[in-house]
Chain A
Amino acid sequence: EDQVTQSPEALRLQEGESSSLNCSYTVSGLRGLFWYRQDPGKGPEFLFTLYSAGEEKEKERLKATLTKKESFLHITAPKPEDSATYLCAVQGGYSGGGADGLTFGKGTHLIIQP
Chain B
Amino acid sequence: DTEVTQTPKHLVMGMTNKKSLKCEQHMGHRAMYWYKQKAKKPPELMFVYSYEKLSINESVPSRFSPECPNSSLLNLHLHALQPEDSALYLCASSQGLTWDTQYFGPGTRLTVL
Contact = CB atoms under 8 A, between A and B. Distances in A.
Interface of A: 31-32, 34, 36, 41-46, 49, 51, 87, 89, 91, 94-95, 97-102, 104-107
- Interface majority SS (helix, strand, loop, mixed), chain B: strand
A98 B42 contact: no
A44 B43 contact: yes
B98 A31 contact: yes
Interface of B: 2, 4, 6, 30-31, 33, 35, 41-45, 48-50, 55-56, 58, 88, 90, 94, 96-107, 109
Contacts of A94: 98
Secondary structure type dominating chain A contacts: loop
Given A42-B106, A46-B104, A101-B33, A95 B43 contact: no
B101 A49 contact: yes
B42 A41 contact: no
B34 to A, nearest CB: 10
Contact of B104 (A43, A98, A105): A43
A23 to B, nearest CB: 12
Given A44-B43, A46-B2, A97-B97, A102 B102 contact: yes
A43 B90 contact: yes
16 contacts: A32-B100, A43-B88, A43-B106, A44-B43, A44-B90, A45-B104, A46-B102, A98-B55, A98-B97, A99-B33, A99-B50, A99-B97, A99-B98, A99-B100, A101-B56, A104-B42
